[in-house]
Structures are given as C-alpha cells and as structure tokens.
Amino acid sequence: MSALLTVDNIGISFGGLKAVQAFAVEMRAGDLRGLIGPNGAGKTTVFNLLTGVYQPNQGIISLGGRRLNGLAPHQITAAGMSRTFQNIRLFGDLSVLDNVRIACHLRTRSGLSATITRAGGQIGEERAITERAMELLAIFGLGDRVDEQARNLPYGDQRRLEIARALATFPKVLLLDEPAAGMNPQEKRALRELIRDIRRKFELTILLIEHDMGVVMDICERITVLDYGQIIAEGTPAEIQKNPAVIEAYLGTADAPGVRKE
C-alpha cells in the first residue's frame, strides 16, 4: 500500500528566517509518528504548513494522492486532515457539545433555506450531528459535561475536548500538537491509552508533536526530530534515543547557541 500522506521537501521562511527547510515525511495509513525537537525548532510551523494556515514557499503536500498546496485550511480539513492546537483554541463561550457539533458542520448538507424552513432532512441531520457528538464525547469521558462552557473545563479536559473536536471532522490524518502539555502523570497515562484507542477505532493516521518523551517513546512507531527547521534524525524510538545529533540538540554543547528564535 502506498503512502497516505506525502510531504515532500516543504519549506517556509518569514522575512529572512528560514523557519522550516526541506521537511519531508511519508505516512502510510495507520502510522503513528512523533515529531519532536527543542523549543522553536519549527514543529508547530510544520503543522501550520500541513493544515494550510501558512502556504509553503516550496515543496508538495499530498493526501491520498490529492495535492493540498494552495488549499484553504477548511478545504484541507474537508479533505481529511484535522488538528489540535498547542495553545488550546476551543470555542470558549460555547458549550462542550457545541464545540464538537461545529466540527461536524462540514459534513452537513443543509443550506440556508433548509436551515430556516427546517426542511429537507435538516432536523434529522441535526439529530445525527448531536448523536455523533455525544458518542465522541462519551469516548473522551466528557459525556456528563456536555452543557458546560468549554472555558470552564479543567485543563486536561480541554485538551481532550480539542481531540474530540478534531475527530468530529472525520479525519483520516490527525495532527496532535502537544496533547499532553499541562497534564499530570495520571492523565498522561490515560492519554496514551486514549490515543491508541482512537487510532484503532477511527482507523487514524496520527502525527504527534510532544515534549513528554515518556509519551512519545511509548506510543510512536517512528519519530522525526526537528532542529532549527531541519530534520536532524528519523527512526524508531530506540534509534532516536541513541542518535548523537538528537542528544546534542536537546542537551546542547558548550558552544551551543544560547538564543533561539521563536
């Protein structure tokens, strides 16, 4: 079987700063890959490139044979790639349920006239959306908090709600940006199980940015390491742990540059 997501040699620069250079990755259906690197290495920028928030200066991104370059973020989501955000971006004033239901919107068909007249199966569609959202929330253990405002959820719940929301778009590829950030050890353990679980249940291909090495080494099959916008290593967790370039990037050497640009 050929690759589902192919990223070939993409790069972007802001002003003179080359934020990401020659980034390439190939993921087959069902892969779970980690993307790690020190702060400011360009990991989130890669996500922004993949999801269309930024347009790459060069290179090709394709999903299931379809080229994604030049598409708007919502088109990429519709094509089957969804994401979470490092700095949680929930719809804070809206209810937990609505947060997930919004992500179902792109799979709906009712237009304005159907919405206003409630005709053409609009009611059934609403019901289907709600059921779907409730199911997802139940999986994420948020089933009893559906009416709460998203901003009032505890931090860990907000992170999980973001994943649930991303899943509601029916993605083939899921990009998780530091899902474990701010979680306690117990929550992190549960999160690992959850990611394995949803991967199986929804037949997902997952690309994961994470700082917590415990999580990354445990669940990822392959890992890509980024530093200064460039790939410095690629391999299985065991290989990465032994790779001298990775160790140097993380620990630094005596003459390592002290200041990194964000």
Binding site for other proteins (CB under 8 A): 44, 48, 51, 53, 64, 72-74, 77-80, 82-83, 85, 89-95, 97-98, 101-110, 112, 115-126, 128-130, 132, 146-147, 165-166, 168-170
Q: In what order do the strands lie in the sheet with 230-235?
A: 81-83, 173-177, 205-209, 32-36, 222-227, 230-235
Contacts of 154 (CB under 8 A, 6+ apart): none
Burial class (CB in 10 A: 0-12, 13-18, 19+), 25: buried
Minimum CB–partner distance for residue 52 and other proteins (Å):
8
Residue 66 or 242 having the CB closest to other proteins: 66
3-state secondary structure of 257: coil
Minimum CB–partner distance for residue 210 and other proteins (Å):
19
Alpha helices, DSSP H only, in the chain? 43-50, 73-79, 96-104, 112-117, 122-139, 155-167, 185-201, 213-219, 237-242, 244-251
Dihedral (CA of 238, 200, 184, 178) sign: positive
Alpha helices, DSSP H only, in 105-179? 112-117, 122-139, 155-167
Minimum CB–partner distance for residue 255 and other proteins (Å):
31
3-state secondary structure of 109: coil
The residues pairing with 81 across neighbouring beta strands, listed in sequence order, are 173
Minimum CB–partner distance for residue 153 and other proteins (Å):
14
Residue 131 or 193 having the CB closest to other proteins: 131
Residue 6 or 48 having the CB closest to other proteins: 48
User: How far is residue 76's CA from residue 247's CA, in Å, rounded to a whole number?
Assistant: 35
Minimum CB–partner distance for residue 6 and other proteins (Å):
17
Residue 120 or 235 having the CB closest to other proteins: 120
Residue 21 or 122 having the CB closest to other proteins: 122
Residue 98 or 187 having the CB closest to other proteins: 98
Minimum CB–partner distance for residue 184 and other proteins (Å):
25
User: Hunting for tokens 């700095």 — which residue is that?
Assistant: 87
Minimum CB–partner distance for residue 161 and other proteins (Å):
12
Residue 87 or 253 having the CB closest to other proteins: 87
